[in-house]
Chains A and B, each alone.
Chain A
């Protein structure tokens, strides 16, 4: 392989990218970056964009609108960054830019130079005029290795990625021998980000030494864990970094074919990655004879169509082969015999996206973040009861407390923290005493949870842990492919038991049965789905046994969540005469007027939907919820009561 020729070819692409970037900046007209990934679009980014376009043409102002991917700040969408060099301000990030705010920004900032401070989230650079976003914990505690460019570049424009340093990792990789490259990844200590944390370098080496032709790389983007959406965001916001990683991996193991497996539920991700493949092929960074070398890589996209178990690597391979996505016995491992019987490397989106920066900046740099055994960063989608939900990339080893309370703002509505569920249905619920656990593969597994693919669900005091365990078992029970008896029938029985407990019909033997059955399911299942399915039950039994006991022995749900164990009633002291709001909202007409012209709930009719508690005006706040239900005072309907 001629290195000079290779670097020269890339240099010419880079020059083109730089020229485009310079031209953009030199025009000295404002640039409006609008977050147009799925989260932005769902919050109305398309309408915002239209409003900008209309307002700009009304005022006859020249400005460029650039759609970008996700910055990870889901709580502040639609997010807009305006770079208006003529005013002397640095690029400013605005939050919740609705149509009205967009018009106001055009009128005030773009036309008159007033940056409208009340909409400002922060400036993207340090300056003397406006507080910078880096002053906030959310920004300065994050460490962006993988998501560095997400939300900063237009995902549909390959040149923006190249101008930001993209694809130089691939060029560097192509100048190395495959063997050296694998050494590099192995030394970096990169572990698979799909959940189990298998060393990526070792997987690559196994595949590279397998003696067979037509090796295949599969990027696993079948993200299905409840509460996880990191892969979607990366695919939508910076598809080229993934493709670059894919190409480096393919070169290292000697593959000439790659498949990106994406869920059909992510239409924008599918569209973006397909477009990215096309544009990379257009400049010879993918496809045949990449950058004039002998290395070729044909990349295609496969859409999964709604089956959680397909995220398991052997099931995923079955699914691509056009069979039911059911896990297979390992060994042989996919690295020996995978898709169509060929050696296959299956790596997660985040694993592959970590590769280019490692190659570009070196293993020392990568090991500079994170811990000894889990170097680098972890990407989490932190959702549930936190003030600032969204996507966060932090160094491994950061404590759960820092992540939840400092980076994500803690628990909203003055509630207190109860548990955090990590690792989706395979993970576990950790209580407050574990908040100082460092986030890395080994510490989390030790605590009974697991890294998982990165979904983190934070729960406040209103969450019932028995109900949460029931929810997760309901999920795995539905998603079990049915191959193994223990997974198929065992989870069904777990669900029945948990249903009984949440319905107030549990017995003390149920607790023991939950424990033993869980262990049996772990032992009797073939793949990760069954092996880890009971984890939510086991961890909640371990850390929240008192809640199980309250349900069984006292008929009480401490969080007031389980419907059968709670009741609503109206406090006559607080209820206002003549107010009828709750009566109208009750779907079953269970609310009647008492003799004193106040309201009461007919417990026999009430379905406990809670609507009345929502609509009762806050100045009265008269609807109360109690558990056990016997605590609710019962009022008989008067004959004339409606």
Chain B
């Protein structure tokens, strides 16, 4: 269940606009921030808040890259697979990440720390190859830099 406070503040925001549905993305993100991902229960709660059906919420939740319908790790690594990154070694970057984390694209490490996901152009072509970790951009990357970043995040966790 969502904490009463969060629920109340979302309900207040929703009440203040003409078309509640336009806040769907914002509400999904707020709920996702709370749970870490959008569980089935969370989808129902979002639907309930906005007076929509869970199916309508599901439609949107599965449309956007940054809404997670499955449990994700503490750090979500989005690897840009756009043309510039791809010219600058995207493939070996993915291979390195998969080897290092011992997971495939789309999976989460058993310790729940990292999730690997692809993302279409994130617009950091001047920093190719680039990745986003929890929406913060890192690049240009080399295997050594990745190791450094991962070690740092592991240390912080």
Is the pairing of A and B real? yes
Which A positions have Cβ atoms within 8 angstroms of B? 38-39, 42-43, 74-75, 77, 223-229, 232, 263-267, 302-308, 320-325, 340, 381, 383-385, 389-390, 421, 455, 457, 459, 463, 468, 471-472, 475, 478-479, 587, 609-611
Q: Which of B66, B87, B125, B126 has the most CB of A within 10 A?
A: B126
One of B1-9, B103-111, B115-123 at the interface: B115-123
CA distance A457 to B83 in the complex (A): 8
Which B positions have Cβ atoms within 8 angstroms of A? 18-26, 29, 59-60, 63-67, 81-84, 86-87, 92, 95, 99, 119-128, 130, 132, 135, 137-139
CB <8 Å contact, B82 and A42: no
Partner of A42, one of B29, B67, B137: B137
CA distance A610 to B89 in the complex (A): 10
Q: A226-B120, A471-B83 are in contact. Are A383 and B126 (CB under 8 A)?
A: yes
CA distance A627 to B132 in the complex (A): 35
Q: A224-B120, A228-B121 are in contact. Are A322 and B135 (CB under 8 A)?
A: no
Hey, which chain B residues are within 8 Å of A77, CB to CB? 126
CA distance A267 to B92 in the complex (A): 27
Nearest B residue to A385, CB-CB: B87
CA distance A384 to B64 in the complex (A): 28
Q: List 14 A-B contacts (CB under 8 A).
A: A39-B126, A43-B127, A226-B84, A229-B125, A229-B126, A304-B64, A305-B67, A306-B119, A321-B22, A323-B60, A468-B83, A587-B99, A609-B92, A610-B92
CB <8 Å contact, B19 and A321: yes
Nearest A residue to B119, CB-CB: A306
Partner of A305, one of B65, B87, B128: B65
Task: List the 3 closest A-B pairs by CB distance, nearest first.
Answer: A306-B65, A322-B21, A74-B126
Minimum C-beta distance from B135 to chain A (A): 6
Minimum C-beta distance from B48 to chain A (A): 15
Minimum C-beta distance from A156 to chain B (A): 20
CA distance A610 to B90 in the complex (A): 13
CB <8 Å contact, A227 and B24: no
Hey, which chain B residues are within 8 Å of A39, CB to CB? 124, 126-127
CB <8 Å contact, A224 and B67: no
Hey, which chain B residues are within 8 Å of A225, CB to CB? 121
Minimum C-beta distance from B41 to chain A (A): 21
Hey, which chain B residues are within 8 Å of A308, CB to CB? 120-121
Q: A226-B83, A226-B120, A227-B84 are in contact. Are A320 and B125 (CB under 8 A)?
A: no
Minimum C-beta distance from B51 to chain A (A): 12
CB <8 Å contact, B92 and A266: no
Minimum C-beta distance from A503 to chain B (A): 14
CB <8 Å contact, A320 and B22: yes
CB <8 Å contact, B82 and A475: yes
CA distance A591 to B120 in the complex (A): 35
CB <8 Å contact, B122 and A265: yes
CB <8 Å contact, A324 and B121: no
CA distance A264 to B82 in the complex (A): 17
CB <8 Å contact, B19 and A340: yes
CA distance A471 to B19 in the complex (A): 39
CB <8 Å contact, B60 and A324: yes
CB <8 Å contact, A324 and B59: yes
CB <8 Å contact, B121 and A264: no
CB <8 Å contact, B125 and A228: yes
Partner of B123, one of A232, A472, A475: A232
CB <8 Å contact, B19 and A42: no
Minimum C-beta distance from B20 to chain A (A): 8
CB <8 Å contact, A307 and B82: no
Nearest A residue to B140, CB-CB: A42
Q: A383-B126, A389-B126 are in contact. Are A322 and B25 (CB under 8 A)?
A: yes
CA distance A232 to B121 in the complex (A): 13
Nearest A residue to B63, CB-CB: A324
Minimum C-beta distance from B25 to chain A (A): 6
CA distance A385 to B25 in the complex (A): 38
Hey, which chain A residues are within 8 Å of B130, CB to CB? 42
Q: A266-B123, A306-B65, A389-B126 are in contact. Are A322 and B95 (CB under 8 A)?
A: no
CA distance A306 to B65 in the complex (A): 5
CB <8 Å contact, B125 and A267: no
Hey, which chain B residues are within 8 Å of A232, CB to CB? 123
Hey, which chain B residues are within 8 Å of A265, CB to CB? 119, 122-123, 132, 135
Q: A227-B83, A322-B60, A587-B99 are in contact. Are A264 and B125 (CB under 8 A)?
A: no
Partner of B66, one of A306, A471, A479: A306
CA distance A459 to B87 in the complex (A): 9
Nearest B residue to A381, CB-CB: B125
Hey, which chain A residues are within 8 Å of B23, CB to CB? 322
Hey, which chain B residues are within 8 Å of A303, CB to CB? 25-26
Nearest A residue to B85, CB-CB: A226
CB <8 Å contact, A38 and B121: no
Nearest B residue to A308, CB-CB: B120
CB <8 Å contact, A305 and B29: yes
Hey, which chain A residues are within 8 Å of B84, CB to CB? 226-227, 383-384, 457
Nearest A residue to B89, CB-CB: A610
Nearest A residue to B25, CB-CB: A305
Hey, which chain B residues are within 8 Å of A302, CB to CB? 22
Minimum C-beta distance from A336 to chain B (A): 19
Q: A306-B119, A479-B120 are in contact. Are A42 and B139 (CB under 8 A)?
A: yes
Hey, which chain A residues are within 8 Å of B83, CB to CB? 226-227, 384, 421, 457, 468, 471-472, 475
CA distance A243 to B86 in the complex (A): 35
CA distance A224 to B120 in the complex (A): 8
9 more A-B residue pairs beyond the given contacts A265-B119, A306-B64, A455-B125, with a C-beta to C-beta distance below 8 A: A42-B137, A305-B67, A306-B66, A306-B120, A340-B18, A383-B125, A390-B126, A475-B81, A475-B82
CA distance A450 to B38 in the complex (A): 39
Hey, which chain B residues are within 8 Å of A228, CB to CB? 121, 123, 125
Nearest B residue to A225, CB-CB: B121
CA distance A42 to B149 in the complex (A): 13
